[in-house]
Amino acid sequence: MKFLVTGGAGFIGSHLVHRLQSHAPVHVLDNLTTGRRDRLVGSGCRLFEGSILDRTLLAEAVQGVTHIFHLAAMVSVSESVAQPSACEQTNVEGTRQVLEAASKAGAKRFVLASSCAIYGNDPKTPKNESLPPAPASPYAESKLAGEKMCAASAVPAVALRFFNVYGPGQDPHGPYAAAIPSFFQSALSHTPITIHGDGKQTRDFVFVEDVTAALFHAALHPDLGGVYNVASGQSTSILQLAQKIISLTGSSSTITHTPERPGDVRFSSASIERIRATGWAPRTALEEGLTRLMPKN
């Protein structure tokens, strides 16, 4: 075996690379726009620095590869709303080119990192894979397009719909920072925690180690096809999350509210029965995962 991880210097991608390193050689293709080289230290991977839209570099990166994990993408819903054309170019055309390169290289398996954003604001909960797609942002539209390309691909492919992934090494900075690292940073500095909207919106938070286990599981089980939710199966409101982190850290932080962000989904909780039936299950409860993110004194 030989693996390729596009977006392998990103948050989830780098955790996956470290998981894969003991199994087979790993190639990483990443333009380092949001990915970081230091995340790959000690992984033994071969880094191809550049874009998935660079056909020459992509052909070099897939040479001899048997299994491809496609994580490279514009991942921010808000950014996709602001820059829909850039989102389509990276997430749709980029996925098309990676699939074409995979086919030419004779790859045996393709795993797409998709998203729960595809469900949109459908009020039915928990979200299961049989619900009709209702994408509410260019990002969600782009991920749905990627799933459709996987279904039509010559390379055996599967799409995993990630819910809200968190874990060590997640970036707490910037306007599109994920809630958990951002909340931790504020709580540890005893500054106000900012929530977009009223905080009653819910999310299904899944620990990054559980996600990389699901990716590896999907790659090595060729009978898996179509789409699968990857989540904890538990729903938590953003307000509850902030309160948990304040309590865990013993922080004096207060909670402030700003207007809702465009394209944000209101309620999100997952059914994971479909992937659980294949032998994968999450192992890390939210309380345990949050505890593991606490700085070591």
Closest CA relative to residue 222, chosen from 111, 113, 143: 111
Pairing verdict, β 236-237 and 202-203 = antiparallel
Closest CA relative to residue 76, chosen from 122, 147, 137, 162: 137
Q: C-alpha dihedral over 290, 218, 204, 165, to 10 degrees?
A: 50
Active site residues: 139
Angstrom distance (rounded) from CA 56 to CA 266: 41
Angstrom distance (rounded) from CA 282 to CA 108: 26
The two structure tokens encoding residue 172? 């707490």
Angstrom distance (rounded) from CA 173 to CA 110: 31
**In 122-221, alpha helices (H):** 138-151, 179-188, 208-219
Closest CA relative to residue 159, chosen from 174, 142, 177: 142
| DSSP track, 60-128 | HHTTT-SEEEE--S---HHHHHH-HHHHIIIIIIHHHHHHHHHHHHT-SEEEEEEEGGGGTT---SSB-
Separation of first and last alpha carbons in the chain: 40
Closest CA relative to residue 36, chosen from 28, 24, 26: 28
